[in-house]
Structure 1
Amino acid sequence: MLKLVVLISGGGSNLRALLEAAHHDSYPARVVAVGADREADGLEHAEHFGVPTFTVPFSSFDDRASWGDELLAQIRQWQPDLVVLSGFMRLLPVGVVDALSPHLINTHPAYLPEFPGAHGVRDAIAAGVDQTGASVIVVDAGVDSGPILAQRRIPVLPGDDESSLHDRIKIVERELLVQTVREIADGTTDLEETRPA
């Protein structure tokens, strides 16, 4: 059984999808803890499913490195097989990425390498493209530049704004995340193969 720690910053819709999947005996992964960098609404999903939570507020630390050290210490207490960034809106310090990767994955609301960064949906709208997508990647030291594990195209519809497009992307992100975690758990996807040679 694959043990997951999920990190969130907001409402936790991807987290909810993982918790619901893991609630079924047939799903080969379990969320053992949920962490956040602030008081996030999504922690309520964890509490609903009886999953422990922790919060490491960035504002409580003098610098990014010391915040990262405490976050890593909290994660390691749970001895996870995989850490999932699920709407986690803060860049992890390189030391944290190095300690966890390649067993550290993230979702992104674009068809990478198109539209990396914090505003992938807004950037797609601004570019006037007729399709974008959703991706699940291994987190590396870059910005949305790690190995791609799964992705799917999503059309940009006439009249779409950032909110309506993002709502449709989130549905696909959730599906891709649940499936990717399943494939990591059952050995179909080997994260060790994504390590740089």
Structure 2
Amino acid sequence: MSKAKKKPAKRKVIRLDNEQRRAELLAMGQAAFAKKPYDEVSIDDLAAKAKISKGLFYYYFPTKRDLYIAGLRETSRGLTKTLTSVPRDLPPRDRATAAVDAYLDSVAKLGPAFIALMRGAIGSDPRVSEVVEAVRRGIADEFFASPVGRLLESKPLSRVAIRGWIGMVEAASIEWLADRNVARDGVRELLVDQLFSVLTGVVGSGGLAKLEAGRKR
């Protein structure tokens, strides 16, 4: 008698709770959007990779755009968290250097995800604008929460100056990502120097000298 054929072992299915599953799908989406243009990312492919039905995928993210926006929000939270981790009681120039360093570290890790965040890769969408604005507002608020920032906030021009500098930081970071022949330390020093140049226009050279006194510990 021939031996009965063994039944193939059933593949073990790992069941995740809702939060775990959503986090997994979000991470997959972020990775996909970092590698491909928005239009080339397929929900079918992502669902297959996650070993779930397309319908279940849409339970967590009703549309591809919802997935994309959620990824941008996660990116923005990471950037803001990076900046808020820098101690506020450091001397002004030391704190600015540490903050720009931390920002560039995050930008380097995010790569295409950062560019997608700042350029709004899927065109004009109010939700994308809200996410980008939240990042810019978070950076400005963090600056004005420092001892120096609190002193400067009484001057109406200060917020205009800082928001303008933030725009420069974004543009310089994108250019640096595109051309890594530019030294990272050079980008950092440029941005820090430009911050203090901008502040000169707000407080004058005498006021800046007082801020610069924080260079030496």
Shared fold by TM > 0.5?
no
Higher gyration radius (CA): 2
Task: Indicate the structure with greater helix content.
Answer: 2
TM-score (norm 1): 0.27
TM-score (norm 2): 0.25
